[in-house]
Copies of this chain bind each other. A is one copy, B any other.
């Protein structure tokens, strides 16, 4: 819009799950995210170290007409990537494996960064990134 961008960062990131509560257990107990608020069957809210907020919504309820806030709600696999503490990905992956979480892809990028992908209970593609997955300069 103006010369100076006014958007600073992503504040809230959303994924959808029909079973919000089981999916909340995954993010809280398996991944170790800090649970902030939980509205059973409807939504869960996590706060991250950098002040960012991660949201899980039940898509049918979140997209129902008559809510005060704008309706939203998507069906199908979404995607989110989280940054992990540098150097911690091997230990993290080992802990996930111990808990029966299957690694779908383990990818090392041209940047030297590395990503490991799993699925949450709702089928969303969840990526853990150690370092940078994207180069400094665009390729296309």
What copy number does this chain have within its complex?
2
Least CB distance, A44 to chain B, in whole angstroms? 10
Residue pair A12, B81 in contact (C-beta under 8 Å): yes
How many angstroms between the C-alpha atoms of A122 and B133 in the bound complex? 26
Residue pair A7, B36 in contact (C-beta under 8 Å): no
Contact of A9 among B5, B79, B83, B92 (CB under 8 A): B83
How many angstroms between the C-alpha atoms of A57 and B91 in the bound complex? 31
Contact of A30 with B by CB under 8 A: yes
How many angstroms between the C-alpha atoms of A8 and B88 in the bound complex? 11
CB-defined contacts of A50 to chain B, threshold 8 Å: 8-9, 50
How many angstroms between the C-alpha atoms of A71 and B88 in the bound complex? 25
Contact of A121 with B by CB under 8 A: no
CB-defined contacts of A84 to chain B, threshold 8 Å: 6-8
Least CB distance, A2 to chain B, in whole angstroms? 7
How many angstroms between the C-alpha atoms of A45 and B81 in the bound complex? 13
Least CB distance, A137 to chain B, in whole angstroms? 9
Contact of A53 among B34, B68, B134 (CB under 8 A): B134
Contact of A11 among B6, B16, B53, B129 (CB under 8 A): B129
Residue pair A7, B128 in contact (C-beta under 8 Å): yes
Given contacts A73-B77, A76-B59, A91-B6, contact A11 B138 (CB under 8 A): no
